[in-house]
């Protein structure tokens, strides 16, 4: 049996981390890795965050409502929220989770990772594993159990769940009671229903500020989508949206309040093509010119 130790990087209570001024500074610094200083300044003059798009699939914003309580790493007012729908018995999910954790640690409090259960019907231990994770969550050990379940995918089952609970220092008797509790089954069902509303078709599926990233993808591709989400959130922040409201307006851009940002010279009354000719990127996602109506082209961070 493998137990993976894991330092919890966020609290289930989802504390706030940012005021508008410090968040803008941190976002400008991060965006400066993929844009020139002048382009970062220009980014703040764009009025519509949807003017920035990566490809023709990057057009639908899914309103991934998180609910009242959920396991998360990172502050509630992070400008980028990655919501992953995952299955503990899915080998692709295990690989993807490692990449999600890696990039969330890289970006720190600029990114929040939210976990949602989506056990597939043909994985007989996926739902029991989800309930085990929820039972551990009751005792404040969701992320530790989460990592241990993925590390022991080949032996998922009641005996493993109880053994992991003991190894993680949980009250095993309470864990055994909670794993059967209807309220925890209802939490899992809520996540499944949310996935259905968001047109989820398989696992893993990750929604980054409402934009769907299907399948297990590389850290490079996650960074690419995070850069786009940061750029859109930067526009919202410059429009006067409070840090605590960035996710709400990211998934509901049609509700953006307040006056539009100043129009760029020469763009009034016109909308340049969203997708320029020759748009491409390599398989690792390290080169990805991004269509922006203002003419910006977000470049990727350099290879490590």
Candidate from 32-46, 107-121, 167-181, 270-284 with smallest mean pLDDT: 270-284
CATH number of 54-261: 3.40.30.10
Lowest mean pLDDT, pick from 55-64, 92-101, 116-125, 258-267: 258-267
Question: Does residue 89 come out as left (phi exceeding 0), alpha (psi in the -120 to 50 range) or beta?
Answer: alpha
**Token pair listed for 96:** 């993807």
For residue 80, the surrounding DSSP H or E stretch is: strand 80-86
| pLDDT of 244 over the 70 cut | yes
> Cα separation of 270 and 147, whole Å?
50
pLDDT number for residue 199: 84
What pLDDT shows up at residue 302?
Answer: 44
Between the ranges 46-50, 53-57, 126-130, 199-203, where is the mean pLDDT highest?
126-130
Q: pLDDT confidence of 25, banded at 50, 70, 90?
A: very high
* Least confident residue range of 43-47, 167-171, 268-272: 268-272
Give CA–CA dist 34/37, Å, rounded: 10
**54-68, 157-171, 182-196, 217-231, range with the lowest pLDDT:** 54-68
Give the chain's largest Cα–Cα span: 68
Average pLDDT (98-115) is 96
Among the listed ranges 79-83, 174-178, 184-188, 259-263, which one has the minimum average pLDDT value? 259-263
Given this model, what pLDDT does residue 273 score? 28
**Exposure string over 152-175, b if 16+ CB within 10 A, otherwise e:** bbeebeeebbbbbbeebebeeeeb
pLDDT band per the 50, 70, 90 thresholds, residue 55: low
Average pLDDT over residues 287-295: 38
* Overall size of the chain counted in residues: 304
Model confidence pLDDT, tens digit, residues 222-234? 998 899 899 999 9
| % of the chain exceeding 90 in pLDDT | 62
- What integer pLDDT is reported at residue 271 of this predicted model? 34
* Per-residue confidence (pLDDT) for residue 58, from 0 to 100: 53
How many Å apart are CA 181 and CA 196, to the nearest integer?
23
pLDDT higher at 290 or 108 = 108
Q: What is the per-residue pLDDT for 279?
A: 30
According to the model, what pLDDT value does residue 292 have?
A: 40
* pLDDT bucket at 156, cuts 50 / 70 / 90: very high
pLDDT higher than 60, residue 62: yes
Calculate the average pLDDT of the chain: 81
Domain boundaries, the chain: 54-261
Only one residue has tokens 């220092």, namely: 169
């Amino acid at each position: 049996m493998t137990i993976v130790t894991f330092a919890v990087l966020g609290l289930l209570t989802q504390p706030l981390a940012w005021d508008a001024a410090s968040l803008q500074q941190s976002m400008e610094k991060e965006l400066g890795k993929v844009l020139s200083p002048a382009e970062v300044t220009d980014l703040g003059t764009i009025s519509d965050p949807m003017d920035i798009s990566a490809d023709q699939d990057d057009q639908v914003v899914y309103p991934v409502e998180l609910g009242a309580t959920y396991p998360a790493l990172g502050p509630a007012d992070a400008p980028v929220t990655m919501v992953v729908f995952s299955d503990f018995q899915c080998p692709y999910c295990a690989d993807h989770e490692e990449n999600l954790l890696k990039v969330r640690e890289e970006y720190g409090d600029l990114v929040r990772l939210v976990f949602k259960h989506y056990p597939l019907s043909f994985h007989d231990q996926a739902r029991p594993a989800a309930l085990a994770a929820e039972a551990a969550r009751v005792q404040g050990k969701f992320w530790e159990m989460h990592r241990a379940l993925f590390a022991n995918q080949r032996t998922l089952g009641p005996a493993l769940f109880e053994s992991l609970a003991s190894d993680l220092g949980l009250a095993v008797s309470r864990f055994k009671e909670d794993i059967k509790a209807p309220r925890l089954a209802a939490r899992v069902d809520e996540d499944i229903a949310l996935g259905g509303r968001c047109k989820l078709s398989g696992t893993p599926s990750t929604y980054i500020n409402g934009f769907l990233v299907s399948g297990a993808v590389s850290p490079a591709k996650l960074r690419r989508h995070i850069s786009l989400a940061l750029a859109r959130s930067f526009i919202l922040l410059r429009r006067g949206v409070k840090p605590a409201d960035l996710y709400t307006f990211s998934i509901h851009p049609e509700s953006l309040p307040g006056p539009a940002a100043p129009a760029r010279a020469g763009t009034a009354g016109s909308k340049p093509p969203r997708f320029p000719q020759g748009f491409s990127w390599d398989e690792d996602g390290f080169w990805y010119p991004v269509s922006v109506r203002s003419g910006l082209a977000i470049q990727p961070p350099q290879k490590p």
